[in-house]
Each structure stands twice: as C-alpha cells, then as structure tokens.
Amino acid sequence: MNMNFPKNFLWGGAISCSQAEGGFNEDGKGIDTQDLRYFNFHWNKDERKQFKNRRMYKAKFEKALIDTNDKMYPFRRGIDFYHHWKEDIDLLAELHLKVFRTSIDWSRIYPNGDDKLANQAGINYYHNMFTYCHKKGIKVFVTILHYNIPVNLVLKYGGWSNRKLIGFYVTYAKTLFKELGDVVDYWLPFNEINAGRFNPYNGVCVVEDDQNRDNKIFQSLHHQFLANALAVKYAHEIIPNSKVGAMIARFSSYPATCKPEDVLQSIQDEQYSNWFYLDVMSRGSYPEYIKRYFREKKINIKMEASDTDILKENTVDFISFSYYFSQVSTTDNNWKKTDGNLIVANKNPYLKTSEWGWQMDPIGLRITLNQVFDRYQKPIFIAENGLGAEDHQEKDGSIHDPYRIDYIRQHIKAIKESLIDGVPVFGYTLWGIIDLISCGSMEMKKRYGVIYVDQDDSGNGTLKRYKKDSYYWYKKVICSDGEDL
Ligand code: BG6
C-alpha cells in the first residue's frame, strides 16, 4: 500500500477578504457588514451577549455606519492584504503552495449589492491577484461569499430573509464567472452555510421580532440554498468544466455516553447542524427529518413552484468543510461546556482544548472524512483547519510554534489514514495561512498562520511579515508530498 499523498494533492492555505484585506473604503468598495463589527476587548462575555440580542442589529449597523473611529473596527484594516498581496503571494509561492483559497468581497464588485453596474476596479484587483497566483504556479479557490454582504442589502431589503437577495447574488456570481472564470480553478458559493444562522453579520439573523426568528432563519437559508444552486448552474453554463463545491462548518458530534437517548441526540445534532445543509446542496432536496422538524416547530417556508427543480438539477461537484474540533451530544443539560467554533460545545473528557477552548481532535477528522464520503460519495476538499494560538516573537524575529506544527501534523496524519481508507480527499487549505483578524473574537492575537504579521489587537505594528517555524515545516511537508511530517 502506497502511504504517500497523491502527487497532485492540493496543499494549500486559506484566508477571507474581510479578515485580511483592509482597504475598506478604497477603489469604490462599498461598506459591508463585517466593516461594522466593533471590537470589544472583553469579547468572550460581551460578544456572546450581542449574539443573543439579534434584534439590535439594524440599529447597530446604522450607528456603526456613521462611526469614523476605524481603530475599533478591525475588519476595516485586516492585515492590509489589499496592499501586501503580491508580497504575500510570493511568500506562498516560496512555500510551494499548490492552491490559495480566498473570498471575494461582494461590496468591491457591487458596492451596494443592488447596483446596475459592476465596479471595474474591484474586478481588476481580483483578476490581477489571481493571474499572479497562476504565474507563480498556485491554483485559485474562490469563496464567493464568506459572511460579509453589502450593508445596503440588510438595511434596504432586510438581508437574506428577502427573496430579492437571490437575484442580487446571482448577478454578482455571474459577473465573477464571466470576469474571473479564466483565473479561478475552484468555486465555493458560500462559506459555512450552516454557520450562517448564528451570525447576524452575514445578513441572516437580522431579525426584528423574536417570535418569527426561526422561520426567518430557515427562510433565509432557503434563499441561500437557491442562490447556491443557481451559482452551480451558471458556473457550469458560463465556464465549461468548472468545479463548484458545497461547504459547511463541520460540527462533529459523538454521543456523550452509550445511553440510547444520547445516541439519538447525536444523530439529531448531526442532522440539524450538518447533514441537512449538505443533503440539500449535494442530494438536491429537503430531507424528511428536517420536514418533520419544521412541522413540529411550526416553521413554514415560502417556496415557489420551480424551487424544487432548481435544487434538484444543480447539485454540487464536491464537498468541503472546515474542521477544527469535535463535541459531544447529550440530553443532560448540566453537561460541562467549552467553547467551540461559533458555538458553545459540550465537553469531551478525552480531548485537550486550545487556548480558546476548542477541543482538538485529529482522529475526529478521519471519522468525519469517512462519514462525509459514506454519505455523499463525492470528492472532498478540507477548506479550513488550523490552530488559533498566541505566538511570541523572539528578539531576532523568529517565532517558535511547535504547538501549531503538532496540531497540523496530527491532522495531516488523519487525512493520510483517510486516503488509505479510500476517501477521495483532493486538497487541504490550512486556515489563516497568514495571520489575520479572528472572525469570532476579532482579535489579532488569535493567530493561525505559518506567516506572522506584526500587528496587535489595537492595530499597532509594522505589518511586516515573518516566517514562523511552522512555515519551514509546512514547506518540507509540501515538498515531500506529505511524507516528511
Ligand atoms: C471559520 C470561518 O468558522 O473559522 C473563518 O470560516 C474563521 O472565517 C475560522 O476565521 C476560525 O474562527 P476564528 O473565530 O478563530 O477566527
């Protein structure tokens, strides 16, 4: 049995526009929802409170729109990738990276989301960058929407709960297929579509009355599913042989005990948090278990006659997910808790947690890869994985991050085992390959990169890039096709 990764395995790195670019008001860009997130040094407590208080979002956006204190809005500056992209891509090329995943900022292309004409400067920016990636031998993996939407779409239309958003999104996506189709290799219509329901900043949870909240969330998701299917349709029509994937945040779950109630809870958590989304995007229809859930919760989604066919006829070519941690499912409400990616998770006593409370579980990645392939029988791309940790820079500029190397090593070993299990994983993009602003906490000190960026939580620093120990290690892994771990 050949233990190596295939020669054409796509070793990669990922970032997102809002967490990296900065340049929030340059070259015709409009204001998007992430530009309006206010940094709070006590995020752990207060951010969670904010998430509960979704009703406030419209007012919050309106207030932030007129606040010019940019310092307190970390996504307005990111890591200034907007002006450093060439230098950063050079560093990635030196790493022998095979694929680079980033997202397009909708508000750079259509500043208000509903504009008649696209902003040529925005198109040029991405076209130049992706052309340069290709010149350096790096394939391009584009996320069309990584949470941030033009804020006008929230204020004027109420966000994704309005069916009109599908049309705006399709116009935007078609523009990308026509203008960037020659320089993009893989497309992802939505980042972590299942995590959207937790995140008011992607225009889903902008709900003004709590009674209707669940209904609005699932109505918004229905519109996103249709937008996703239509993106698949038009990508295939406009760019022959294009490859379009579905993506979820993989909230893997084990039963907390072998008590049948816990096992059933685990199955239901998997359905509700993960499979429902992939079932719609990959199998092309709403599964019976979610219809039952809707009936029991009195959720009524408005659908048009053609919706079923749109979903059925435009399923994705591959499956992808982010994977950072696992959790346990139980009916015991008093079970110990810890933090997870965008959620509070039940604690697994067998796993260690990261500094941010995320339960590290490399074997869980192998379990997940097998589960996802068993269910969908499609090629799989791991779109995000990595460790958010605080780094310390030595006087000579070096950064020793053995904890990060160890985390990535264990996860790559799990991928290797999954390949031997027969799971067709064809790529892996390490999250935050260059340090960037954390999406959940908005901190800079929660670093994922193999490239260090000199900037602190308040935005002080030279923005100079440094190679961490993990940079040299990852390069060795890539150059040995995953052999030298
Ligand atoms: C994923 C997101 O949920 O997790 C990324 O797609 C995010 O945008 C990543 O950065 C890690 O989360 P965080 O909160 O540590 O940045």
340 CB within 6 A, ligand 1 = no
Instruction: Indicate whether 175 belongs to any domain.
Output: yes
> Cα(327) to centroid of ligand 1, in Å?
17
Nearest residue (by CA) to ligand 1, atom 9, is 439
Instruction: Indicate whether 263 belongs to any domain.
Output: yes
> Cα(182) to centroid of ligand 1, in Å?
29
Instruction: Indicate whether 5 belongs to any domain.
Output: no
Pairing of strands 425-431, 10-14: parallel
Q: Return the best residue to mutate from 18, 192, 341, 385 for the ligand 1 pocket (most ligand atoms within 8 A of CB).
A: 341
Residue 3: per-residue pLDDT:
62
Residue 197: per-residue pLDDT:
67
Instruction: Indicate whether 485 belongs to any domain.
Output: no
Instruction: Indicate whether 1 belongs to any domain.
Output: no
User: Distances from the Cα of 133 to the Cαs of 96, 240, 311, in angstroms?
Assistant: 11, 21, 33
Residue 2: per-residue pLDDT:
53
* Angle formed at CA 313 by CA 223 and CA 161, multiple of 5 degrees: 5
What sign does the CA torsion over 94, 360, 427, 166 have? negative
Residue 396: per-residue pLDDT:
97
Instruction: Indicate whether 70 belongs to any domain.
Output: yes
* N- to C-terminal Cα separation, the chain: 18
User: Distances from the Cα of 193 to the Cαs of 64, 196, 246, in angstroms?
Assistant: 25, 5, 8
ipTM of model: 0.99
**Could you tell me the pTM of the whole model?**
0.96
For tokens 């670019």, the residue is 21
Paired strand residues for 328: 254
Instruction: Indicate whether 2 belongs to any domain.
Output: no
Residue 211: per-residue pLDDT:
66
- Give catalytic residue positions: 192, 384
384 CB within 6 A, ligand 1 = yes
**CATH code where residue 465 lies:** 3.20.20.80
Instruction: Indicate whether 196 belongs to any domain.
Output: yes
Total domains in the chain come to 1
328 CB within 6 A, ligand 1 = no
pLDDT in tens, 181-212: 999 999 999 999 998 766 666 666 555 556 67
Q: Give the ranges where 12-163 is alpha helix by DSSP (H).
A: 17-20, 43-52, 57-65, 81-94, 106-109, 120-135, 151-157
* pLDDT beneath 50: ranges in the chain: 43-55
Can you give the residue range of the structural domain that contains 199? 10-479
For tokens 């006593």, the residue is 349
pLDDT in tens, 433-446: 999 999 988 999 99
